[in-house]
Structure 1
Amino acid sequence: MIDEQTRSLLAGIGGFDPTPGALAGVVVVDVTRVVAGPYCAMILADLGATVIKVENPDDPDYTRTFPPLLTGEGSEPLSGFFAQYNRNKLGVTANLRTAEGRELLERLVARTDVLIENFRPGTMERLGVGPDRLREANPRLVYAALSGYGQHGPYRGRPAYDNSAQATGGLWSMNGPAGGPPTRVGTIIGDLAASLYGAIGVLAALRHAERTGEGQLVDISQQDSVVTLTENAVVAYTTEGTVPEPLGNAHPFVRPYELFPCRDGHVFFGGYTDKFWRISCEVFGGEGTADAHADLSDMATRFDPDVYRDRVRPMVEGWFRDRTKAELEALAGDLVPLSAVKDIGEVVDDPQIAARDMIVETEYDGYGALRTFGSPVKLDVTPPRTRGRAPATGAHTAEVLADVLGYSAAEIDAMRQAGAI
């Protein structure tokens, strides 16, 4: 952990929620952009870490221009996309292509626990601030590198986006309508998964550093992350030689466990176990329905593709056809796995989402309130801080350089003039 003086200085900058979180005292330097790195760092910020987002003054995180945009008194629109992944951070600028910018980063890392970057492997080394160099400045440093394919292997140097990981991790080939072409998952799941694994890796490495004083490299690949999201696909191939294909909304073998139409939309119904099947028969078909179809009482029978197609699915479709999503949830939502398929508007207004504080509101001066998702991590003693603002580019540069790193006003001005900050 960093020294108490640095912790106190940083605590006085930014004006964020002062409530100490589980990671209070941990300082993270965030040299990332777009989603995979920023979200990883934000997870740590929500949990109480002090996160310093370092951007090139001439080329800041380009998601600052991504929609949706809030307009207000500021000279530039505020990106809701950027704000959602960068709350609770301090903003510092440093041009790592300059000697002064690299020195700034090294001085910052010397008083830091974690650095996160998501450049293509080799980029930080070419700039002269790779993990080996930075660990000379701070042997305890946890250096987390998130990239498309990881820090070693034949694909190491390839450029990559989320879709690259979905494609090469197998997920794309499995997704889509049955009998149709592969379809990407409808969100940046490769970026998001890498963010989550990055946060887990950082926490594990921090625990080791606290015990031993030894930092280490946390190497996270988007492709690796996606592979772990393919459920039973890997073992299906390695044990049986089966290559999964798109199945639409169906499960490879569990039935019924998919999407069903109803009067005003669709619901997910997963009443595949013997217990849930019997309850469903009685609730939707009436008393005696399960006994009247006793030959379907065994789960293995219902899993049979022909039996499911010819008898089980038509029965379920008949149960749901004339009822609304709300009626179906009211009738059976507390008894069997049955959930309305909700659009984002319905999700934002969902009472369970509200009860879990999963839509949070942050006030941005001159722009008004911005509502974003909260944190799914619920801690009863040190709850996450989710209402902090995202920083303007370099908003806290002068304060961090002067109060934490000891730069004089003249030095800071000279660095600005040189384009280093």
Structure 2
Amino acid sequence: MFFLTKAAKIFTEEEKIKILSDIVAIETVDRNEEDVANYLANLLSKYDIPSKVIPTGIPGRANLVAEIGSGAPVIGISGHMDVVSAGNVDAWTSDPYTLTERDGKLYGRGSTDMKSGLAALVIAMIEIKEQGLLKKGTIRLLATYNEENGAVGSIQLEEAGYVKDVDAIIIGEPTANTIHPSHKGSMNFVVSSRGRSVHSSKPRGGINAIEPLMDFALEFKAAFEEATKDIHFGQLDFSPALDIYGAVEGDDEGNAELDQLLKQPKFSITVFRGGDQVNTIPDHAEVVFNIRTVPEFDNEDVKGVFSTVYNKYLDKGADFDVQLTLDLKPLNGGVDSILVELAEKLSKDYLPVEQLVVPMTGGTDGANFVANKGDGFPIIIFGPGTETSHQIDEYVEKDNYLSFIDLYIDLITTYLDGE
């Protein structure tokens, strides 16, 4: 096992924070990832690390790939460059795009999700190269665009072959004292309904767009529940960390119910909108479904249920359109892989709290990266951050961010040396 000495470090603490500050300052809400990619490419070039900013055909949006070493094994390290909206900027204690330190916490949009993880991986890669710690194998950085709104960047990198020879993957999403080798999938269906507007006092000539869509939404929900009611779910086992998800000490019945709920797929109607005014028959309506899938009932199963109900309504004359805006499959990585074992073991030397190995309820680029790898692939979602992702006053603990840099150095090099 390699322990980094303070004198051996290439970057000072201030420089590490400055890198994070610089990329937080680049506002990447569904745009501008190319600016982050260029910043990181320039940083890497200072240490003679070749990189490639890969255009996407969308102005301002790009992926980034960089590599050191050669041959097998190949470990992929990945983070996304986009962030969610800051929301009500006036509600923030400080400017969301100015990394601000208060009481040992670094505040800013993306400080937790997930520019701290991305910066930590890039810095670790440079430290490994500059200190000559890479004895064999290859480290490949995969920085993605559009993770928050469709995960398109990771799909494009996988289809372009950048993970074909990868033997293991670390994704630096914020995990708040957990290590995730697996997670649920996520799907977004947007169904639109068209009708014909007339005055509500004369409805005969109109077609109400809302009514068939309401019926469809409820029937889809009922069909989903029917299709899943007799399935035994358990491949994703959240039981070691139920307290993270709201377990209450002493409430055995409630906690058992929570355990079962977490293991199952989840169907949600998250948006319903239509019409313009109270005295007009609406000529348009839209419903959005978010469905969290699991290995026992995955995205293809959901599509089957959806198609059956959707086609039924088309046959009845409904004027519907559908868009599948997110199709992220469940990630069923290797819980007992060497990578998980090392992450769990080494984290004890760098982090103050024991890290629990459990699935993740959310989705990540990892599902796309392992699309052609099969179950049990060595992958972990593991990075600095807190539970403040997507919230006002998002922050990462400064010590947590800095500790993960050293942890990544040790984890990556130890894994490659042992393979």
Tell me which interval the TM-score lies in, with the shorter structure as reference length: under 0.3
Q: Give the structure with the larger strand fraction.
A: 2
Please give the TM-score of this superposition, normalised by the length of structure 2: 0.25
Report 1 or 2 for greater relative contact order, CA contacts < 8 Å, sequence distance ≥ 6. 2
Q: Give the structure with the larger helix fraction.
A: 1
Larger radius of gyration: 1
